[in-house]
């Protein structure tokens, strides 16, 4: 397989410009290690920061010789800054930050010698992250699973590229599950891609086999954007953000009544916690992007990375036939 050369591979010292989305409850140490060993950049999804979970999953990265990193949600970790210190104590090469103020995070991360990558959803956010000192940007469109704003990847990626020029590498996220998506993202101005939904269906991903099978059976029309799954968990997401997940019994009841969750009886939240504990897929969130149509099998993460890269190479070669 031919090696991709881009600003992303150069910045992180990796073989392929493929990054694992740091998905909470999905991107544990086994998955991150597998992606890094396959030549990409594995990111452990520490998200909101559970110390015991972080210790268990980050501890699995101890024997990974390739570059790897950790992902954190800033607006929650900023309230418990010791979680950043905990993450850094495991020696990640990269810290991916999302949803919040980057500035307080930069100094401690840089002092540990790690790169700072910031997720953005608008041109203005990209410029602000660069001004704060980000080493690279994750440009995420609204097709993605989980949380985002409203802009789609197709117009957002080139808009951010035009705005930032060559000031920083861009990692495209949202709407990418195979080589066609990777090739398109590179053509739009990205230097690499981030995979989320496709790697939920990796053998090494944390969700249960039943969870993964539900994903394989779904199509894009089964996804819904809602704040209900955040409100029931008591997570104080900024009002403008909603999350894309597969619709289920819980969202059928609450997606149109999000405001009611703010005053719902405590039993509603307790029942949700119990549903997560029991892996009740009719209640718990199954974050999923629109590319779920393209996710049709469970494979080792390394094979998914290989097929993505070889597929992108084939698509970029095929595109040359349009010119004479």
Using a cut of 0.85, tell me whether the model's pTM lies above it: yes
**pLDDT tens digits, residue range 22-63?**
999 999 999 999 999 999 999 999 988 899 999 999 999 999
**pLDDT tens digits, residue range 138-151?**
999 999 999 999 99
Confidence of residue 294 (pLDDT cuts 50, 70, 90): very high
Mean pLDDT of 303-311: 97
Q: Which CATH superfamily is domain 7-206+296-322 in?
A: Aldolase class I (3.20.20.70)
DSSP state letters, 213-260: HHHHH--GGGEEEESHHHHHHT----TT-EEEEE--HHHHHHGGGHHH
Q: How far apart are the two ends of the chain, measured CA to CA in Å?
A: 26
Q: What angle do CA 34, 196, 239 make, to 5 degrees?
A: 140
**Sequence ranges of the domains in the chain:** 7-206+296-322, 219-277
**Is residue 289 exposed (0-12), middle (13-18) or buried (19+ Cβ within 10 Å)?**
buried
């Amino acid at each position: 397989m031919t090696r991709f050369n881009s600003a992303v591979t150069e910045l992180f010292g990796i073989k392929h410009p493929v990054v694992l989305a740091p998905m909470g409850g999905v991107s544990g140490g086994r998955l991150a290690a597998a992606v890094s060993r396959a030549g990409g950049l594995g990111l452990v999804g520490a998200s909101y920061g559970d110390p015991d979970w972080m210790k268990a999953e980050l501890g699995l990265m101890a024997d990974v010789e390739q570059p790897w990193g950790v992902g954190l949600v800033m607006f929650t970790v900023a309230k418990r800054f010791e979680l950043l210190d905990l993450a850094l104590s495991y020696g990640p090469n990269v810290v991916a930050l999302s949803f919040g103020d980057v500035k307080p995070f930069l100094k401690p991360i840089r002092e540990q010698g790690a790169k700072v990558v910031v997720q953005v959803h608008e041109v203005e956010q990209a410029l602000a992250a660069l001004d704060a000192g980000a080493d690279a940007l994750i440009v995420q469109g609204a097709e993605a699973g989980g949380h985002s704003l409203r802009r789609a990847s197709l117009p957002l990626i080139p808009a951010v590229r035009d705005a930032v020029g060559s000031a920083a590498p861009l990692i495209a996220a949202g709407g990418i599950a195979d080589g066609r998506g990777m090739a398109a993202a590179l053509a739009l101005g990205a230097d690499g891609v981030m995979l989320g939904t496709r790697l939920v269906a990796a053998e090494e991903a944390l969700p249960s086999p039943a969870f993964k099978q539900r994903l394989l059976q779904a199509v894009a029309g089964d996804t819904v954007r809602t704040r209900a799954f955040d409100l029931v968990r008591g997570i104080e997401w900024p009002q403008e953000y909603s999350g894309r997940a597969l619709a289920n019994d819980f969202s059928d009841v609450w997606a149109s009544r999000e405001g009611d969750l703010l005053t719902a009886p405590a039993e509603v939240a307790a029942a949700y916690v119990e549903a997560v504990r029991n892996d009740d897929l009719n209640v718990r969130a199954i974050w999923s992007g629109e590319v779920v149509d393209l996710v049709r099998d469970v494979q080792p993460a390394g094979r998914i990375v290989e097929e993505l890269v070889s597929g992108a190479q084939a698509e970029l070669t095929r595109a040359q036939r349009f010119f004479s």
